[in-house]
Amino acid sequence: MLAFTPVGSSLLSRFAVTPTPIATPSPTPLPPTPTPTPPKPVLTVVGSPPRLNVGAAYLFDNDTGHTLDDFHGEVPRPMASTTKIMTAVIAIQAGNLDRVITIQQDALKEVNNNNGSSAYLRVGDQIKLRDLLYALLLPSGDDAAIAIGDGISGNTQSFVNVMNIFAYRLKLFQTHYSNPDGLTYYNVSNRPLPGNYTTGYDLVRLAQYAMKLPLFAEIVKTTEYRLAPSAHHHGYNWPTTNSLLAYASDAPTVKVYAGAMGIKTGYTVEAGGCLVFSATRNGHDLMGVVLGSANKTSRFLDAVTLLNWGFGLPLKVPSV
């Protein structure tokens, strides 16, 4: 008879398996919480905007999207040569800026028949569209506006139709164009014809769009453009009409405004002095419009008054 000898506890202990302890996983450290960037102080309207002797005025803070001043900003008014902002926008977006446009007689007739401003283009000259944009925006050539319209659309009226379609697409619902230069046309009774009008609000919105086009922004801050003579055209020298950028004979007493970036002048008897302007100071970017100012000089003085007031507003950190 077999007998089983109990295994002693000392023997069992020799074969016992000691469990390997499971390491406690270390928690993955969270990335450090970034120090929040404090909100940038913004220009804050305190008190009333300056009172100007104008038909309409509008001042806009491009940094915040805030309207700082709105005086009759929704009232349609004639816009004179600020019309050419849209003319330039269409031309720049039409495609080939190196296309050559031949200056026709109708461009010169526009100036001569309507007492318009001129880039002094010569009939038969063949000039690139890029160069004509300087003729359009610096000396405010009405002849350049007609030449551009003819060159892009074949005739002025077809080009104006494009201007109005694009204005609608930009939701400039209180803007309408009757020509590409902003001149006033008259009926047989020598009364001004309606049809070329806008508002301060619409003009600011259009200017915002235009200033995002690099070529447009570059042209409107240029003080003078020289086009050397070639086998295809005469030589030209086109100075700006914007006294905020440089001395201009239309307003010889106006001083250059530090930080001015453009944009476009305008004047007719019916529209009065008009100006779309932009300036930067201490990292702040303001844009504005004056319509119906008393004369060619006062439009700049009115703009300077608005800009100085806007840049002088107190800086406050917006509430979160």
Parent domain of 154 = 50-311
249 is catalytic: no
* 300 pLDDT higher than 60: yes
For the stretch 154-205, pLDDT in tens is 999 999 999 999 999 999 999 999 999 999 999 999 999 989 999 999 999 9
Section 128-135 average pLDDT? 99
| H or E element that contains 164 | helix 156-169
Query: Does 163 fall in a domain?
Result: yes
Q: For the chain, what is the domain count?
A: 1
Higher pLDDT, 32 or 14: 32
Q: pLDDT at position 11, please?
A: 40
Phi, psi of 8 (to 5 degrees): -70, 155
Query: Does 10 fall in a domain?
Result: no
Q: pLDDT at position 27, please?
A: 65
CATH number of domain containing 118? 3.40.710.10
Query: Does 142 fall in a domain?
Result: yes
189 is catalytic: no
Query: Does 201 fall in a domain?
Result: yes
* 10 pLDDT higher than 90: no
Q: pLDDT at position 45, please?
A: 85
For the stretch 270-295, pLDDT in tens is 999 999 999 999 999 999 999 999 99
Query: Does 300 fall in a domain?
Result: yes
* 228 pLDDT higher than 80: yes
Q: pLDDT at position 313, please?
A: 93
* 213 pLDDT higher than 90: yes
Query: Does 89 fall in a domain?
Result: yes
Section 99-127 average pLDDT? 98
Q: pLDDT at position 39, please?
A: 73
Q: pLDDT at position 7, please?
A: 46
| H or E element that contains 266 | strand 260-268
Pull the structure tokens for residue 204.
């600011």
Q: How far is CA 243 from CA 81, 202, 260, 296, in A?
A: 15, 23, 10, 10
Chain mean pLDDT for the chain: 91
| From 81, 117, 153, 293, active-site residue | 81
Q: What percent of the chain has pLDDT over 90?
A: 82
Q: What single string gives the DSSP state of each residue in 191-237? A: -BPP--BB-HHHHHHHHHHHHTSHHHHHHHT-SEEEE---SSS--EE
Query: Does 199 fall in a domain?
Result: yes
Band of residue 320 on the pLDDT scale cut at 50, 70, 90: low
For the stretch 19-73, pLDDT in tens is 556 566 666 666 676 766 667 788 888 889 999 999 999 999 999 999 999 999 9
Place of tokens 């220009």: 43
Is there a contact between 276 and 302 (Cβ–Cβ < 8 Å)?
no
- pTM value is 0.87
| From 26, 128, 140, 296, active-site residue | 140
Choose among 246, 251, 260: nearest CA to 293.
251
Query: Does 253 fall in a domain?
Result: yes
Pull the structure tokens for residue 32.
């450090």
Choose among 181, 194, 268, 201: nearest CA to 56.
201
128 is catalytic: no
* 108 pLDDT higher than 60: yes
Q: pLDDT at position 318, please?
A: 73
